[in-house]
Structure 1
């Protein structure tokens, strides 16, 4: 079953953040991810307006998504934004409706 990595971010230091975003597409591809949306036009319908960059990535399975996030390469790239270049919320969710039995 597909899984989706959803990220919401606020860029604080664009130069340092770009060091992160320059590395990530290759890492995602290596783990069979497909970017569905990245940094495009958006409209916040409800909730806080903290984040102004949104990313949705589809992976074949939850395991692929988790393996990508936990990979040495991704963790290295994420250090650029974690050192103050941005604030990010990452969520990985399995596709489908788990409430339907």
Structure 2
């Protein structure tokens, strides 16, 4: 079942974050993931949530998403992300296909 990594982040060091943006995509692909949203315009439809930069990734499973974030391949990019932004990140299991 697919899983979605949702990262609501505030970039604190734009120059360093540019380096992260170069390193991250190949690792996502390596673990079977793909970008569904990557910092595009977001509008609040209800409530008070107003993310500054929202990223949504799709992986084949929660386990694959966890393997990616804990991988040695992603570790250098992850460190850059942690140094250049503040993140609130979750992984959520996708809904079963409807009949």
TM over 0.5: yes
- Does residue 23 of structure 1 match 2:23? yes
How does the TM-score come out when normalised to structure 2? Answer: 0.87
User: 2:41 matched to which residue of 1?
Assistant: 41
Q: Which runs of 5+ in 2 are unaligned?
A: none
Secondary structure, in 3 states, of the residue corresponding to 1:20? helix
Greater helix fraction, Structure 1 or Structure 2: 1
Deviation readout 1:53-78 (Å, 9 max, x if unpaired): 11111111111111001111212211
Aligned length: 95
How does the TM-score come out when normalised to structure 1? Answer: 0.85
Q: How does 1:1-101 map to 2 (within 5 A)?
A: 1-45=1-45, 46-49=47-50, 51-83=51-83, 85-96=84-95
Runs of 4+ in structure 1 off by over 2 angstroms are 44-49
Q: How large is the RMSD of aligned CA atoms in angstroms? A: 1.4
Q: Which runs of 5+ in 1 are unaligned?
A: none
Secondary structure, in 3 states, of the residue corresponding to 1:71? coil
d(CA) in 2 for partners of 1:8, 1:14: 16
